[in-house]
Chain A
Amino acid sequence: MEQIKAIKAEEGEIFDIELEEDLLKKNEELAQRNKRLLDKYKILAVDVMGSIGSGKTSLIKNLASQLKENYRIGAIAGDLTTTIDADRIKDEGVKVIQVNTGKECHLDANLIGKALKKFDLKALDILFIENVGNLICPADFPLGSHKRIVVISVTEGPWMVIKHPYIFLEADLVAINKIDLTKAMGVSPQKLTEDIYKINPTVKVVQTNCVKGEGIGEIVEGIRIKEYA
């Protein structure tokens, strides 16, 4: 005789678990932890954000080249998959840790925390953090840096600021890069500057040409590196 399989009622009980876990706040807490660690070793951390190809790496290279005589410099280079940026910055004799985010569109405080463990923090004065090329997502993920620089370039067209206002809100300095191409592009740096001030009236705006190193001194002044490091 065929055996009849009894259907068993689903056992167990239903219950609710209160989690109250804020995922964005978790990033903020980790960012605060990074900042405390950096402060302990008196390191100035500068987060460099901007869209793809705006000149973030060139800017860091230029800053490193100008500052390396007087300060010990490190860099964290965030990229989706390659080490191209890290290699370029390394050429300046800077200690670089590469963070590959895979498919992520931004660096987060957890990744920075891990990268910090790979540095000899006693041997650093200034740390540049190159974020993933993106004007949208990094704005929501503080890393624990002391200063935030946004790099835009005239080749991105006239609407770059107005279309992505969020990232400029918490910036300390905005570099308008590739200023030598202004004429060819027909883009007005003055208009871009006005747009930036509408969003963030207290931010410092500097025009740069990272190929020739123009405006780099103004950035060093602008983020008051000397007062910190």
Chain B
Amino acid sequence: MHDISISQAIAETVLKEARDKKARRVLSLKLEIGELTFLSSEQIRFWLKELFKGTLAQGVKIYIKKILSLIRCKSCSYEGNMDLNMGLGDDSLHAYFPIMKCPKCSSFSLEIKKGKECLVKQIRIIS
């Protein structure tokens, strides 16, 4: 996936903010990532560590909070989580991506209310 380009965008956002605030160092970074983005926190952590080498944010503590999905079905008004294990019903393929349908009435007409976030929530800096 595009975990590296997302990581670059995160790194740029963090470093720009740190420079604007005249930080000497960035101590910690809080991210919130929705489960429907299918971004891998392990890869993001890895790339951020690499990207921050030799910058103000080298060695920063990274906290990643996973945001669970929340959908609303436009047909039956079901509101709740999506079952991410709901694949194509074929065990020979471990469908990594779920089929986006309502767990109650199987409608495909859904509104995604949560789960697509990729949020740089907070940074802690020392001035």
Chain A positions within 8 Å of B, measured between CB atoms, are 10, 12-25, 104-106, 136-137, 140, 159, 162-163, 165-166, 169, 198-202
Which of B93, B116, B123 is A16 in contact with, Cβ under 8 Å?
Answer: B123
A15, B2: Cβ atoms closer than 8 Å: no
For A199, the chain B residues whose CB sits under 8 A away are 99
Chain B positions within 8 Å of A, measured between CB atoms, are 1-2, 5-6, 9-10, 13, 17, 21, 24, 27, 37-38, 88, 90, 93, 95, 97, 99-100, 108, 116-127
| 14 more CB-based (< 8 A) A-B contacts, given A24-B116, A105-B5 | A13-B126, A15-B125, A15-B127, A16-B122, A16-B123, A17-B122, A21-B119, A22-B119, A23-B6, A104-B5, A105-B2, A165-B95, A165-B99, A169-B100
For B27, the chain A residues whose CB sits under 8 A away are 14
Q: How far does the Cβ of A109 sit from chain B's closest Cβ, in whole Å?
A: 13
Q: How many A-B residue pairs have CB under 8 A?
A: 87
A163, B120: Cβ atoms closer than 8 Å: no
B2, A137: Cβ atoms closer than 8 Å: yes
- When chains A and B are docked, how far (Å) is the Cα of A24 from the Cα of B121? 13
Q: How far does the Cβ of B98 sit from chain A's closest Cβ, in whole Å?
A: 9
Given A136-B1, A140-B37, A162-B88: A19 and B99 interface contact (C-beta under 8 Å): no
Q: How far does the Cβ of A195 sit from chain B's closest Cβ, in whole Å?
A: 8
A14, B10: Cβ atoms closer than 8 Å: no
For B108, the chain A residues whose CB sits under 8 A away are 200-202
Q: How far does the Cβ of A170 sit from chain B's closest Cβ, in whole Å?
A: 10
A17, B118: Cβ atoms closer than 8 Å: no
A14, B93: Cβ atoms closer than 8 Å: no
